[in-house]
Structure 1
Amino acid sequence: MKKMTDIPESPRWNMVEDVADYLLLMLDVTLPVNPLELLQNFSGKIYTYQELAEQCDMRISDVCDEFDSDDGGLWYNTKTQEYVVAYNHLVCPEGRVRWTLAHELGHIVLGHLEDFPQTRLSNFTVTPEELKVLDQEANKFASEVLAPAALLFGLADKAQNYTEEFYYALSRYVCHLSCQAAFYRAKSISARQSSIARKLRRLPPYAKTYFSPYIDQYAWTASQTANSSTWLHSFSDEFSQMSKTSIS
């Protein structure tokens, strides 16, 4: 039996990023990522909130209340040893649904309901602080799976454009993130460019080979400038609006 340890006091950022990258490589995931397809590799059953509402003769708002979330939830069936995921496919935008699914996948792959005694259903004693750490790890996993740092930095390096605005445009256009997710991903990548560059230099050949086709596929971004690119202009306007309304 696997030995359980306590929930860490702070998120394990590097470990989470490595796990997400390893998953993409080992499953040879096609970009942009379809998190629903990925979940089917790890979850026994996946329901929409609407399906649960119909099965249980409830309103969708009641299902949201049961999960304490308008977006989704996860539980582990100890009898069947299967994960069960539920998500609200009616929320907008679509990027928010993709993020929810990737977030729940993160909880599964990172062993959040199996590795820690606090999260076992027979002894669910998670504190708000511990839950925050687990959610931060799941969000980190979602961001790396949906918008890999190696891909975004590789494209920016190809274009010699390392601005937050450009990372935002790539996150939206290439990775299909929602506006909010793309905004925070752009800021995160921009702040970590030096460490990402060092990490990329240490990547094994097979990992570099995985991202190379996608970098080549979008290599045309290298010839685009803020003055000539219509697609970049539209995302620049979005980024400007997000900068005004989001809390950094």
Structure 2
Amino acid sequence: MEQQTKPIFARYQYAKAKARLLIKEFGLTAPPVDVEAILKARGAVVKYHMIEEIDYAVTFFYKGRHYVSVNVCNPGRDRWSLAHELGHIELGHYHTYNLDTLAEDKLTEKERKTLDREADVFARDLLMPTAWVRSIAGGAVEFKDIDCLAERFEVSWEAMMIRLDELGLFDRAESLF
């Protein structure tokens, strides 16, 4: 199969399927997902930094290994960031597009955003799979219950609220009034 040189569109269904396959492969049955353990099982090196100016995670592919660096100054986002970076790895972004990093000089802004959207869908479905969220939520969720669900899945309140809204279990627009 010939390698694609540039991402053209986000493969959302592919990202969802890859997250489901990973959950199955690792025998995961309930939250929270230990993303760091999965990264390490895949041979990645995970490092934490405290550089405030770099408040995001970044992955480099060097000598056949992925190196993931994530900021510890924002503990609410670190698991999402790790899952997002795992998404880039599992979705083959480095190999498919022959990259050592998703740096600005390697891809256009539009191409990077396309790959980031795929990685976000992967992260969302890995950390908060539809079946788990529906099962644990048990139906429509009230505003006051979002915090408990976020704690259970070890995701941010905002990530949980968005996921519940996507699944039709919470209407965030209605909750504002």
Take 2:132 and 2:27, find their aligned partners in 1: how far apart are those partners?
Answer: 14
Correspondence for 1:154 among 123, 132, 135: 135
Take 2:71 and 2:90, find their aligned partners in 1: how far apart are those partners?
Answer: 21
**Displacement of 1:163:** 4.8
- Equivalence for 1:35: 35
**Displacement of 1:13:** 1.0
Taking every aligned residue pair, what percent have the same amino acid on both sides? 26
Query: Structure 1: which 5+ residue stretches go unaligned?
Result: 51-59, 194-235
Take 2:55 and 2:23, find their aligned partners in 1: how far apart are those partners?
Answer: 28
- Equivalence for 2:108: 127
Take 2:80 and 2:135, find their aligned partners in 1: how far apart are those partners?
Answer: 22
Q: Deviations over 1:100-156 (max 9, x none)?
A: 111111111111111014x356xx631111100100111111111111012112345
Q: What residue identity is the alignment partner of 2:150?
A: R
Preserved contact between residue 75 and residue 83 of structure 1 (Cα < 8 Å): yes
- Equivalence for 1:201: none
Structure-to-structure mapping, 1:7-156, within 5 angstroms: 7-29=6-28, 31-50=31-50, 60-61=51-52, 64=53, 69-77=54-62, 80-91=63-74, 94-117=75-98, 119=99, 125-156=106-137
- Residues 129 and 171 of structure 1, relative CA distance in 2, 3 Å threshold: farther
Q: Aligned Cα RMSD in Å?
A: 3.1
Preserved contact between residue 76 and residue 82 of structure 1 (Cα < 8 Å): yes
Preserved contact between residue 46 and residue 84 of structure 1 (Cα < 8 Å): yes
TM-score normalized with structure 2 length? 0.82
3-state SS of the aligned residue for 2:123? Answer: helix
3-state SS of the aligned residue for 1:84? Answer: strand
Preserved contact between residue 42 and residue 108 of structure 1 (Cα < 8 Å): no
Paired residues in the alignment total 173
Take 1:47 and 1:180, find their aligned partners in 2: how far apart are those partners?
Answer: 25
Take 1:7 and 1:152, find their aligned partners in 2: how far apart are those partners?
Answer: 34
Q: Which has the higher helix share?
A: 1
Structure-to-structure mapping, 1:228-239, within 5 angstroms: none
> Any runs of at least 4 consecutive aligned residues in structure 1 with deviations exceeding 3 A, and if so which?
162-171
Query: Structure 2: which 5+ residue stretches go unaligned?
Result: none
- Residues 28 and 166 of structure 1, relative CA distance in 2, 3 Å threshold: farther
Take 2:167 and 2:24, find their aligned partners in 1: how far apart are those partners?
Answer: 20
3-state SS of the aligned residue for 1:70? Answer: coil
Preserved contact between residue 43 and residue 66 of structure 2 (Cα < 8 Å): yes
**Displacement of 1:184:** 1.4
- Equivalence for 1:185: 163
Take 1:148 and 1:31, find their aligned partners in 2: how far apart are those partners?
Answer: 9
**Displacement of 1:12:** 1.0
3-state SS of the aligned residue for 2:68? Answer: strand
**Displacement of 1:173:** 3.9
